[in-house]
Chain A
């Protein structure tokens, strides 16, 4: 890692330490501006990786959450243990497994999707588990009492309500995945952080580190705000009338 990235350097720059030489400079903003396309391409990769990871996390996490609530026997046990394992493993280790020591040779994007997606599934399963449990047993009993099978009751009564209740937790998870796509830096994927790093490590550009980092952060911030607003809207769109959620 470059010396320019050391925390004390960035910190002293933020608090205005002049001895490091890292200060905001017009020429460095111009450098960022000149490379905007390069950075935006990275932002595109970040967005794409966020979407594929969150979707994988949803596709695996929702069934896992359902199994954790209603499942019995060895399958449910295996799902629970897999979740514990994934939540208990650092994301860089997970990426090392999906990229470096994976017997199937995956590209960096696929390996990052798999790693971030599986970890997100482990977290999302807990969001859905909590939401399902909050729906309450009475809904299940009512559905079963008209003769629906457990599957039909889960699908038509429990899950539609649980998904609505998952939105706040899902908002969190979405923004966490969005920012954690930056760990794909570790396997060399040319996403936003990687590209930012590539910029200020160019010869003679080490003084632009603060400007680059701020620009990159701003992109993450804007994406996060947009995501949150989008999901907020989704929540209001699907709020159940009379429950106060639709505003």
Chain B
């Protein structure tokens, strides 16, 4: 059974229909990369999974259970689904460690010591144990994003959502974030990533979806989309992206 499944998902902002019938499924440990032009609905698609945005019709299933019903415990759903944001959204008033402990303390009811120990090991996992006491404003963009990843990982999620995690970074800082994402993928984390990093997509993705105007135009393993896309539009888009964002191997 799929870990995550979209079934004919529609979503609109006012009159504008952003998602026009999205259906696909991901298995555990899959790494799905979603690409597509600006405004194609990529971010909305991610935000629907943890209900930051509510859908109009269709169903999203996590581990076989519908999570888009009114009965769904939204807080529990969000605990099970980690999210990494384009502009980090680190808690500005808390240290790197404090960013990671907050969810552990408030949501998982860890004791102070337990939370500290767990958060420290998550910071180690992203290579930032030495920055535990730094505040977000004292970190580089790449470090901030790695704290963001550690914060999400600490909740022991079944699925991680990445919403353009490297788009706000200086080019020389992208690699350190991609490296962490690649490690995660190798550890078997299930990941749904909106990213334009083609090096990462080519080597780490199990599947790439090309989204345009709220529909999945084409979906398949990276080799297929890069070497022999079925749609001309997919090929053109990938070519453009690769020339812009192909360099970083992470």
Contacts and interface: CB of A to CB of B under 8 A. Distances in A.
A156 interface: yes
A196 B207 CA distance: 82
> Chain B contact residues (Cβ within 8 angstroms of A): what range?
20 to 34
Interface in A144-166: 144-149, 152, 156-157, 160-161, 164
B137 A148 contact: no
B78 A142 contact: no
Given A146-B79, A147-B107, A156-B106, A240 B93 contact: yes
> Chain A at the B interface: mostly helix, strand, loop or mixed?
helix
A162 to B, nearest CB: 10
A246 to B, nearest CB: 10
Given A142-B85, A240-B137, A241-B135, A148 B91 contact: no
Contacts of A149: 75
Contacts of A144: 52, 75, 78
A232 interface: no
A138 B87 contact: yes
Interface string B50-89: 1010000000000000000000000110110011010101
Contacts of A160: 93
Contacts of A143: 91, 102
Contacts of A145: 50, 52, 78, 82-83, 152
Contacts of B87: 138
Interface of B: 50, 52, 75-76, 78-79, 82-83, 85, 87, 89-93, 102-103, 106-107, 134-138, 148, 151-152, 155
Interface of A: 138-139, 141-149, 152, 156-157, 160-161, 164, 240-243
18 contacts: A138-B85, A142-B91, A145-B50, A145-B83, A146-B155, A147-B76, A147-B78, A147-B79, A147-B103, A148-B75, A152-B107, A160-B93, A161-B91, A241-B135, A242-B135, A242-B136, A242-B138, A243-B135
